[in-house]
Structure 1
Amino acid sequence: MRPTDRTGLAIILSLVALTFFDAMGLIIKHLSSGYSAAELSAYRNLFGLVPSIIALWSSRAWRLSGRRLKLRQWKLAFLRGAVVTVAQLCFYASLGLMAFATASTITYASALFTTALAIPILGERVGWVRWSAVLVGFAGVIMVIQPGGTGFSLYVLLPLAASACYAFVGVTARLFDDDAPSPLVNLYSSVISLIGAALIAYFWGGFTPIASVNDMGWIMLMGVFGGIAVLFMVVSYRMTEQSNLAPFSYFGIPLAFALGWLFFDEAPWSTLFPGALLIATGGLLIVWRERSRSKTVAKLH
C-alpha cells in the first residue's frame, strides 16, 4: 500500500462516480429521440474538456515536468482518442435502441476484452484461471445477447463493440512512458474524441438545432454529470490501487437495472439474468487473480 492509500474513501468516491455515469446515461437515453449519438458524444466531450483540464492543472507530475503539453507518443494518444469516439458512438446509440440496464450490463464485458487484448498488445501471459474467467464472462454475454432468440437484434452488438473499444483504451494506457502524466494523456484523448464526434455529427447530417431550453439544460447536465464522474474516478484511482476498486464497479449492474425500471419502466429480467451474474463473476475472477499475482510478486521482492 502507498502512504496516501485511503481505500475506504476511494471506494465511496468510485461508487459516487459510477452513479453519476449512470445518471449521464439516463440523460443520453432521454435525449436520444431528438439528437444523434454523434451529437450527444460531441456535447459530452466538449464538457469533458473541463474535468480533463482541471485534472491536468492539479497534477503534481505535470507541474514537475515543466507543464509541457507535448507527448512523445502523441500518435498513440490520438489513436486512443479515435477509439474512444467509436466507443461513445456505439454505447450512446445503444442507449437509444435498447433497455438501459441491458446496454449498460453488456459494457461490463470490457474486463474480459482487457484480458484478451493484453496478450497481443502487452505480451502478457494469461494462465488458465484468467482464461476460465473470460469464458465464464463471455458465456454470460451470450446469455444476455441471446443470439438466435426471437428478441435478438444486431443492436445488442453496439454495447459489446463499445466494451471492446474501452478495453483497448485501458490496455494501451500502459504503453505510455512512465513520466507521461495521466491527465495529459486523457486531455489528448478528450480533444481528439471531441473533434472526431463533431466531424461525424457534421457529416452524418449536421447538428440538430437544440429544440428547447429544457433540452439545453439536459445537455449541460449531461456534461456536468460526466465531468463530475471523471473527476471523482480520477481522484479515487489516485487514493488506492485500481484492483481495490474494480470489484465495486459491478455495483453498476443492479444500479442500472433499478434506474432503468424507475425512469423508463424497464425490467428486462429474462434478458439480464442469469447472464449478468456470469459477466460479473468472470470479471471478479480476473480481479482476484490479478490481486493474487500482485501479492506473490510483492513477496518475492
Structure 2
Amino acid sequence: MVVSMAGFTANDAITKTMTGAMNAGQVMLVRGFFATALIALLAWHQGALRKPSHVLDRTLAVRTFCEVAATVSFLFALAHLPLANVSAVLQALPLAVTMGAALVFGETVGWRRWLAIAAGFAGVTIIVRPGFEGFSAYSLLALLCVVFCAVRDLATRKIPTDIPTLLVSTMTASAVALSGALLVVPLGGWTPMTGGEVGALACAAMLLLVGYQFIILAMRSGDISFIAPFRYTALLWAILLGYLVFGDVPDKAMIAGAAIVVGSGLYALYRERIVGRTRPAAESTAPAMAPEGM
C-alpha cells in the first residue's frame, strides 16, 4: 500500500510539473493516451475486452462521467495549489463515501462515525481557510474533486459484477484522454512538446499502472482493515515531494487541518472494524481513491 501511494503521488508531482508547460487538456490527452494503451493491453491480455457491449451500462457511464469531471477539477487545483494541500483535501474522500452511502444507500452509520465525518470536514475547512488571506478559489476545485470521486465510488458499487475491473479502467482512461482532446483548444490550444515532456507524461502513466498493481496486491494479500490506514501515507509522500520538487513548505493551518482529517478517517476505519464492517470507507482504499485518469 505504501509503494502504491508513492506511485500515485509521484504521478501527481510529474503532472503538476507538466501543467506549467501546457494546458490541462493537453496533459489529459497525452498522459491518457499512454495510460489507455498500457491498461488496454493488460485488459486484452486478461480477456477483459471480450464483451464490448458492457460499456453501454448506465452505471458505468455515470462512473466515467464523474471520473472525467474529477480529473478536470483535480488538474486545475493541482496546477495552482501545493501538492500537499490538494492531497490533504483528498484524504476526506473515505469520509465523503461513508456519508454518501448512508444518505443514498441507507447504510447504517453510528453517531461516532457521524462525529468523525463532521470533524474530518472541519479539518478540510481549516485547510481551505474560507474567508482568510490564505484562501484560494482553487481549493474549491479540490473539494469538488472529492464530491465527484465520492459519487464515482458509490456508482462503482452498483456496477454489475460481470463487468471486469480492467474494462472499467480501460473505459475510464480512454474517456479521460478523449475529454482532454476536446479541451485542448478551449484551454488555449496545443503547445509543442519536447521529448522530455512526452517521456515525463509516459512515465506518469506507468506510475499509475504501478500504483494499481501494488494496491491490488495489497488488497488481495492482507486484511483490509489493517491495510486501509496506510492509504494516508499518500499525504506524507505529497509533503516530501512537494518540498523536494517544488520547494513547498506546509504551514501550520495545513498541517493542523490534515491531522484532523487523517485522524477522523482513521477513527472511522477503527469504528468499522469494531462493528465488523469494512464498507464503505475502507472500500475507497481501492485504486480509485483519487481520479484514476490523473
Fold similarity call, TM over 0.5: yes
Q: 1:28 aligns with which of 15, 33, 36?
A: 15
Say how many residue pairs are matched: 279
- Pick aligned residue for 1:261 from 235, 239, 243: 243
In the TM superposition, residue 295 of structure 1 has moved relative to its aligned partner by: 5.9
Alignment of 1:249 with 2:231, yes or no, is yes
The match for 1:5 is none
Q: 1:73·1:176 contact (CA, 8 Å) conserved in 2?
A: no
**8 Å Cα contact 1:102/1:144 also seen in 2:** yes
* Partner of residue 272 from structure 2, selected from 277, 283, 290: 290
Q: Structure 1 CA distance, aligned partners of 2:222 and 2:155?
A: 21
**142, 157, 160: which is aligned to 1:174?**
157
**Whole-Å separation in 2 of the counterparts to 1:213 and 1:59:** 32
Q: Residue 100 of structure 1 is aligned with which of 83, 105, 114?
A: 83
Does residue 117 of the first structure (1) align with residue 62 of the second (2)?
no
Q: Secondary structure at the match of 1:290?
A: helix
Partner-residue secondary structure (3-state), 1:238: helix
Which region of structure 1 is more displaced relative to structure 2, 93-102 or 226-235?
Answer: 226-235
Q: Which runs of 5+ in 1 are unaligned?
A: 1-13
* Deviation for aligned residue 1:101: 0.8
1:1-301 matches, cutoff 5 A: 14-57=1-44, 59=46, 62=48, 67-71=50-54, 74-210=57-193, 212-240=194-222, 242-294=224-276
Cα distance in structure 1, aligned partners of 2:209 and 2:185: 24
The residue type paired with residue 66 of structure 2 is V
Whole-Å Cα distance in 2 between the matches of residues 241 and 54 of structure 1? Answer: 30
Distance (whole Å) between structure 2 residues aligned to residue 53 and residue 92 of structure 1: 23
TM-score when scaled to structure 2? 0.86
* Contact 2:59 2:156 (8 Å CA) reproduced: no
Query: Counterparts of 1:270 and 1:17 in 2: how far apart (Å)?
Result: 27
Q: Deviations over 1:159-217 (max 9, x none)?
A: 1111221122112111022332222222222222222222122443333221x222222
Q: Distance in 1 between matches of 2:103 and 2:202?
A: 40
- Asked if 2 retains the 8 angstrom alpha-carbon contact of 1:94 and 1:103, the reply is yes
When structure 1 is superposed on structure 2, of 171-180 and 195-204 the one drifting more is: 195-204
Segment of structure 1 superposing worse, 232-241 or 266-275? 232-241
Secondary structure at the aligned position of 1:150 is classed as coil
Distance 1:243-1:186 versus aligned 2 partners, 3 A rule? farther
TM-score, length of structure 1 as denominator length: 0.84
Contact 2:30 2:198 in 1 (8 A): no
- Are the equivalent residues in 1 in contact too, given 2:60–2:155 (CA < 8 A)? no
Secondary structure (helix, strand or coil) at the match of 2:7 reads: helix
Asked whether the equivalents of residues 51 and 228 of structure 1 are also in contact (C-alpha less than 8 Å), the reply is: no
**Tell me, which stretches of 5 or more residues in structure 2 are unaligned?**
280-294
| 51 and 289 in structure 1: CA distance in 2 versus 1, 3 angstrom threshold | farther
Whichever residue aligns with residue 15 of structure 1, its letter is V
Residue by residue over 1:227-266, the C-alpha shift from the partner in whole angstroms, topping out at 9 and shown as x without a partner, is: 2222322333333454433200111112211111111111
RMSD: 2.3
Which amino acid counterpart does residue 191 of structure 1 have in structure 2?
S
Look up the SS of the partner of 2:92 in the other structure.
Answer: helix
Which SS does the other structure have where 2:275 is aligned? helix
- What is the distance in 1 between the residues matched to 2:147 and 2:40? 27
| Distance in 2, Cα, partners of 1:55 & 1:123 | 36
CA radius of gyration, larger in? 1
2-side partners of 1:114 and 1:55: how far apart?
29
